Structure 1
Amino acid sequence: MIKEASCTTDAPLAGVRVVEIVEGAMSLTGRWLADFGADVLRVDVEEDSSVTSDDGTFVTHSGVEFLAWHRGKRALRINPSAPGDKTVLTAEIGRCDILIEDGRLASLFGQDFSADAFQQANPALVVLSISDFGADSPCATWRATDPVLHALAGSLSRSGIPGRAPLLPPNALATPCAAAQAAFVTMLAFFARLNSGRGDWLDFSRLDGVAQTLDPGFGSAGSAAAGVRACDLPRGRPDARNQYPIIRCLDGFVRLCILSPRQWRGMFKWMGSPAEFADPSYEMLTTRSTSDKLTAAIGAFFMDKTRSQLEGEGQAHGVPTAAMLMPDEALDTEQNRARAVFEISSLRGHDVRLPKTPVDLDGGRMERGAAGLTHDDARAQILPQQALQTRQKSSAAPLAGLRVLDMGVIVVGAETGRLLADAGAEVVKIENPDFPDGLRQSRDGSPMSQSFASGHRNKRSLKINLRDEEGKTIFRNLIAQADVLLSNFKTGTLESLGFDEATLRSINPALVSIESAAFGRSGPKSRQMGYGPLVRAATGLSALWAYPGDPGSFSDGTTIYPDHVAARIGALAALALLVRRRRTKVGGTASIAQAEVILDHLAVAAPEPRSHLDSAGERLPWGVFSCAGEDDWCVVTVENQAQRQRLADLIGFAQSETGKSGTGDALEQALRAWLAMRSSTQAMHLLQDAGIPAGAMLTVAEMPDFEHFAARGFFREVTNPMLRTPFLVETRPVKARHLPDPDHAPAPMMGHDSEAVLREWLGSPKGSTTQHQNADDEVIENV
């Protein structure tokens, strides 16, 4: 029996029908579409091992994770051997708009049930086929777990402390990040279908998704990296402890983000202006990040103060500061209570706490399951295949003709706009020469950093003064012509400039506005300065990202999480609201709380234990193991008894020697000895050929030569006229039959396109444009 669907009147994806046949955490792909109001029908196959929750849905895995993966969906239970059930499933797929499947269709129901067969039978259908490595990868038959994905996506090589073993990030963060990318590309293909009437088949590799969203070494890097991307770092865990220093205090630890000269001056004043740090060189990020003397002095200054005291004083001095919270502390904070971040669900008679979606929609929390417009009514309003009113109808790019004003800064700001620009939108970055985007800074003073060149390709640049009345007038006129506005300022910044939501709506009722904030639009932390490292500290993730038994060994200094995945959610929200605009002719707003993205992932990702036990209580090798070369490591994750047997056979381990659970497990010791005689790459191939999930730890620089990325054309070499050498970026967001690969227009110098944009958007005569350009040279203050 299929549970009835409901949606809110203004749910962005009301009327969109989705059938999902996916096991595990990649089911989050469908949950994102359900969050935005799509009617998602989850197909449960009777052969799957399952338990039943109180509401009658079928629960796999631990139950709690299942609820997090599938909230807001309907359920249909199918027996593959029952002809009537197959008829029902065929009918459901036949009337849906999007099919999400993980490769089991044909094996469960026969070749006539393959995703390709359904797409060919219904050319308007968008099919997302999810696998670990993709259909055309030389590794297509391999198996990946989250630790294997960390190893092959380059993030493991940067996680940990110099001189120590690489450290697996906590919990299974990789797959939820991949699911956000999968949801974004699915919506991109659906948006293209609304314009052209043609569906698509997307070959989605979970490894590709992780490499793009969790900690992409070839993407934009944080401000503290000073424009140096991870692909340019030497082998080994980089020592990043002073970039975003974690300082011990009276009752724990606090974390600082002192990135700009202005923030350093605030820190200097807070410390009482000590003469030993008065040298102007301390205004440079590189001086501060390499100064152990400064870190020690801050430590002495903090040692008799509490976390709460330091957080308040730091913010008062303009120094971004956050208390390092333990995971249990992070769940029950004043901020989370004020925003009602969690809701209580029932599972087999017990209450469980689950995070709500980290997106505010049209000024309030995006909710699931409220009564309102039926899906059939909404469907009739958006699904007739009529061309979108674009300014470039002949272009194959799905977002051609859309105009985007991009006020985003640093990583999440760069990436949200870049995703839309790559899809063909005209994205204009608004900048201020006096307060440049942190991604523009470089260690050698070059006018263009590789990080900026990566994150702002395919964009244009415009300078205007938002504190000057003439600049405000220009901005109002631009807003009137725009389809989308992107920002990630501190909450209240646009309002302080005279552009609150009501004003923006009065200028352009059709405007779609997307913003990202560290802690969300409301609550006591909403107006605090927030960066990714502070968000990780405040959510308990930094405390988890430490070596077992060594609670002070914080190791998340180089990660850029959650910036890239938050950008995917922002781009997804923009597309969903643009779909709704087709139906309502009215725009809307969405705000993504980065802290709540982390809390959502920690809830939906089943923890990856440091060791596994099988049903007999015997230990299954699971972790990072040293190999023959220098700093050469291989992840091995044995999931069950069958894989354990195959491992024993591969390494010549006699079953009679099998040890019981514990640190002295004989099989694991034999595995360590076997690995010590082989390179990580050789070991990975032998293990994967035996059906055991394994992955060599790749540095970012090694990724382009890895057979999977090379065969799928994952990277491409591009140039920028302001950089001396070519550099690599990802080629496309997903492999698809019809979505075109992005263009590559080099990231612009500041204000490079000011005159052209004003002329093309506003039709300004040359004299007026020149006047604007001259005024631009004075200012906008970017806050």
Structure 2
Amino acid sequence: MSGQDITQGATQRGPLHGVRVIDCSTVFAGPAAAAYLADFGAEVLKIEHPNGDHARFFEPVHHDVSLWSKLVNRNKASITLNLSTDEGQALFRLLAADADVVVENFRPGTLERWNIGYERLAAANPRLVMLRVTAFGQTGPYAARPGYGTLAEAMSGMAQLIGYPDRPPLLPPLALGDNIGAITGAFAVTAALLNRERTGAGQAIDLSLVEPLLAVLGIQTLVKDATGQTLERQGNRVQHLAPRGAWKTRDERWISVTVGNDNTFRSLANAIGQPDLVDDPRFCSNRARLAHVDEIEDILAEWFGAQSHRDAIETLERHNVSCAPLYDAEQLLDDPQFRSREAFVRLADDELGEVLLPNVIARFSATQGSIRFAGKPKGADNRRVFVEQLGLTSDELQALTERGVV
């Protein structure tokens, strides 16, 4: 395990300090978008059903606590509220009247059916920005379908491009579509807040999880339209440059190398002790290397297979070759680059004692974001929000709890 010291969380104000966000979304894409906003200083209030958000029941679980919930609900206050009840909807409208942003990811029409849709909320708070995250968008023939990021990865063409040509397509082994959607959603919210500063008006944002992936994979449709060709699975290869891949060393470890141009190929050829490769007509240009990718990969496989991992890395780095080891989690946490940049922060936690979370995804020179605490227990801030902020009495809060509203 990493030896990072436990921190109490930074106290500096991030660039989104003062922005109030209500996160009533579930599982990953919506909550992760809200978490990114929270990382950069937004005051985020997580609202979940009294039974708990679905993420609280996802594995892996440690000491009966979902680690996913610790990650995706970091830096958020936590309350419970049943939005399908009239009383819950009334309380939600009170909270939204004073909010800058609402993040939701219910099926289209659900919030409207609960009388807390954007038009209803914006009538009382015209500066409100609402991020609406769904699999397929608020409109179109698929709008009403249930969906997860996995479906976006499938339909976008991503899965069709992952894997080897003689094997089935592969879905990513993590919530990649959700997280790309989350980063896109956080970006869209900040753009809408900037526009609000200029116009004074909020707006609703319709974010389909498929469409950010279409942008990421835009070359596949551009190629199809321009040439009629369909990109195919190629394992670790890509169609636009060569060599690119991962090679196994003598001690059964792996190193990734990407050659982006002829100069970097020259560096690679010198590193493996075969400088004449740059004049070989099979490898003298990127187009030539792509046409003879099997041959150059065989040459690299032979060289890597004769080297130890340490020697190969040192040789490649000495010749300025773009390379990196393929890490597992233990190796990642022990890397001096990530330690020096504090890429992970270890925090005290009331439920688990301590947790290790990734640090903010971008470093600001003047208004740095921070990871201040992990996801809280369900309803940890109920009293503060309902009694101290909204003015309910303790008896009223107890009655709402007994009726399943809170």
TM-score tier (shorter): 0.7 to 0.9
The within-5 A match list for 1:213-228 is none
SS in 1 for 2:180: helix
**Cross-structure match for 2:183:** 568
CA distance in 2, matches of 1:398, 1:613: 38
1:630-650 per-position Cα deviation (integer Å, ceiling 9, x unaligned): 3x2111222333333332222
The within-5 A match list for 1:439-458 is 439-442=56-59, 446-458=63-75
The answer (yes or no) to whether the contact 1:410–1:438 under 8 Å persists in 2 is yes
**Cross-structure match for 2:339:** 710
CA distance in 1, matches of 2:307, 2:156: 40
The within-5 A match list for 1:310-349 is none
1:688 pairs with 2:321: no
State the 1:664 CA deviation.
5.6
Considering Cα pairs closer than 8 Å and 6+ residues apart, tell me whether 1 or 2 has the greater RCO. Answer: 2
CA distance in 1, matches of 2:352, 2:180: 27
CA distance in 2, matches of 1:751, 1:572: 28
The answer (yes or no) to whether the contact 1:447–1:722 under 8 Å persists in 2 is no
CA distance in 2, matches of 1:426, 1:722: 22
State the 1:596 CA deviation.
0.8
SS in 1 for 2:103: strand
CA distance in 1, matches of 2:240, 2:199: 54
Measured at CA, do residues 751 and 745 of structure 1 come closer, stay the same or move farther in structure 2, by a change above 3 Å? Answer: same
1:640-690 per-position Cα deviation (integer Å, ceiling 9, x unaligned): 33333332222222628947353662x543322221132445423422331
Letter in 2 for 1:662: H
The within-5 A match list for 1:607-622 is 610=237, 620-622=242-244
Residue of 626, 631, 636 corresponding to 2:248: 626
The answer (yes or no) to whether the contact 1:440–1:447 under 8 Å persists in 2 is no
1:547 pairs with 2:168: no
CA distance in 1, matches of 2:240, 2:281: 12
CA distance in 2, matches of 1:445, 1:601: 34
The answer (yes or no) to whether the contact 1:624–1:636 under 8 Å persists in 2 is yes
SS in 2 for 1:750: coil
The answer (yes or no) to whether the contact 2:12–2:369 under 8 Å persists in 1 is no
State the 1:768 CA deviation.
3.2
CA distance in 1, matches of 2:405, 2:104: 18
The answer (yes or no) to whether the contact 1:403–1:426 under 8 Å persists in 2 is yes
CA distance in 1, matches of 2:70, 2:321: 39
1:652 pairs with 2:254: no
Measured at CA, do residues 457 and 642 of structure 1 come closer, stay the same or move farther in structure 2, by a change above 3 Å? Answer: closer
1:434 pairs with 2:51: yes
CA distance in 1, matches of 2:58, 2:15: 32
Letter in 1 for 2:28: V
Q: How much is the aligned-residue C-alpha RMSD, in angstroms?
A: 2.9
Residue of 370, 373, 389 corresponding to 1:761: 389
Q: TM-score, structure 2 length as denominator?
A: 0.83
Q: TM-score, structure 1 length as denominator?
A: 0.45
Residue of 638, 660, 685 corresponding to 2:259: 638
**Cross-structure match for 2:373:** 745
SS in 1 for 2:28: helix
State the 1:445 CA deviation.
7.8
1:202-254 per-position Cα deviation (integer Å, ceiling 9, x unaligned): xxxxxxxxxxxxxxxxxxxxxxxxxxxxxxxxxxxxxxxxxxxxxxxxxxxxx
1:469 pairs with 2:90: no
Letter in 2 for 1:693: S
The within-5 A match list for 1:229-268 is none
The within-5 A match list for 1:157-196 is none
1:581 pairs with 2:196: yes
Letter in 2 for 1:496: R
Residue of 732, 753, 756 corresponding to 2:360: 732
**Cross-structure match for 1:521:** 138
**Cross-structure match for 1:416:** 33
SS in 2 for 1:623: strand
The answer (yes or no) to whether the contact 1:680–1:697 under 8 Å persists in 2 is no
Measured at CA, do residues 580 and 650 of structure 1 come closer, stay the same or move farther in structure 2, by a change above 3 Å? Answer: closer
State the 1:459 CA deviation.
0.9
**Cross-structure match for 2:106:** 489
CA distance in 1, matches of 2:74, 2:17: 16
CA distance in 1, matches of 2:14, 2:123: 30
The answer (yes or no) to whether the contact 1:442–1:448 under 8 Å persists in 2 is no
Letter in 1 for 2:200: K
SS in 2 for 1:678: coil
Residue of 284, 306, 325 corresponding to 1:677: 306
CA distance in 2, matches of 1:622, 1:444: 37
CA distance in 2, matches of 1:663, 1:486: 47
The answer (yes or no) to whether the contact 2:250–2:308 under 8 Å persists in 1 is yes
How many residue pairs match? The answer is: 376
CA distance in 2, matches of 1:629, 1:395: 45
1:662 pairs with 2:292: yes
The answer (yes or no) to whether the contact 1:612–1:639 under 8 Å persists in 2 is no
Letter in 2 for 1:642: N
**Cross-structure match for 2:228:** none
SS in 1 for 2:139: coil
CA distance in 2, matches of 1:663, 1:465: 58
1:292-332 per-position Cα deviation (integer Å, ceiling 9, x unaligned): xxxxxxxxxxxxxxxxxxxxxxxxxxxxxxxxxxxxxxxxx
The within-5 A match list for 1:283-432 is 396-432=13-49
**Cross-structure match for 1:593:** 208
Measured at CA, do residues 621 and 578 of structure 1 come closer, stay the same or move farther in structure 2, by a change above 3 Å? Answer: closer
State the 1:586 CA deviation.
2.2
CA distance in 1, matches of 2:127, 2:294: 65
CA distance in 2, matches of 1:604, 1:505: 38
State the 1:611 CA deviation.
6.6
CA distance in 1, matches of 2:203, 2:12: 26
Measured at CA, do residues 643 and 543 of structure 1 come closer, stay the same or move farther in structure 2, by a change above 3 Å? Answer: same
State the 1:716 CA deviation.
1.3
**Cross-structure match for 2:128:** 511
CA distance in 2, matches of 1:437, 1:520: 21
Percent identity, aligned pairs only, is 28
Measured at CA, do residues 583 and 659 of structure 1 come closer, stay the same or move farther in structure 2, by a change above 3 Å? Answer: closer
**Cross-structure match for 1:720:** 349
CA distance in 1, matches of 2:294, 2:62: 53
Measured at CA, do residues 504 and 629 of structure 1 come closer, stay the same or move farther in structure 2, by a change above 3 Å? Answer: same
State the 1:519 CA deviation.
0.7
SS in 1 for 2:82: coil
